[in-house]
Amino acid sequence: MADQLDTSSAREDAAVTTQFVVQLRNRPGALAEFAAALDAHGVDIRDIAGGGLGDVGYALVTTNDEAATREVLRDSGHLFAEGRPVIIEIRDRPGELATVTERLGDAGININGIVLVGRSATGVEIAITVDDPPGARRVLGLDG
């Protein structure tokens, strides 16, 4: 694992909207039902990632209408977390993600969602949604 984290490209992107981390049942059609509920309220999904294991699935989404998304999630009874992701570019080499997540974990900061949002010749840009954004910014060197 890398000892030093290069956070020269760390930032909080003003253009990034709220990311919703949504718990779904891990069964056929669960994601379709969630997407249809958003559609019924005129909500457009802008970005999505997800997965599932056992009985639990999840979707990480950003949308064009945060308030309507929140309403759909509350009305449907889905457990969810939300937040503005912290964007950081790390070197594209083994151990860098481990270093970032270890630092957050050591500081008691929980990761609710993480998505790879870009790749360059030298780095990987990731969006991390956490339970303590100010703490994450401090730990990742965004304060200075």
Q: Is the domain of 34 the same as that of 69?
A: yes
Q: Is the domain of 69 the same as that of 41?
A: yes
- Token pair, residue 6, equals 């290069």
> pLDDT at position 117, please?
87
Look-up of token digits 């009985």: 55
> pLDDT at position 142, please?
81
Q: Is the domain of 110 the same as that of 97?
A: yes
> pLDDT at position 144, please?
61
Give the chain's domain count. Answer: 2
Q: Is the domain of 54 the same as that of 78?
A: yes
> pLDDT at position 137, please?
93
- Asked whether the beta carbons of 17 and 34 are under 8 A apart, the reply is no
Q: Is the domain of 33 the same as that of 62?
A: yes
> pLDDT at position 4, please?
53
Q: Is the domain of 74 the same as that of 92?
A: no
For residue 2, being part of any structural domain is answered with no
CA–chain centroid gap for 55, Å, is: 21
For residue 60, being part of any structural domain is answered with yes
For residue 1, being part of any structural domain is answered with no
Torsion of CA 32, 36, 38, 43, to 10 degrees: 110
**42: region left, alpha or beta (phi > 0 left; psi from -120 to 50 alpha):** left
What CATH number is given to the structural domain containing 41? 3.30.2130.10
Residue 130 domain boundaries: 86-139
Q: Which residues of the chain have pLDDT under 50?
A: 1-3, 7-14
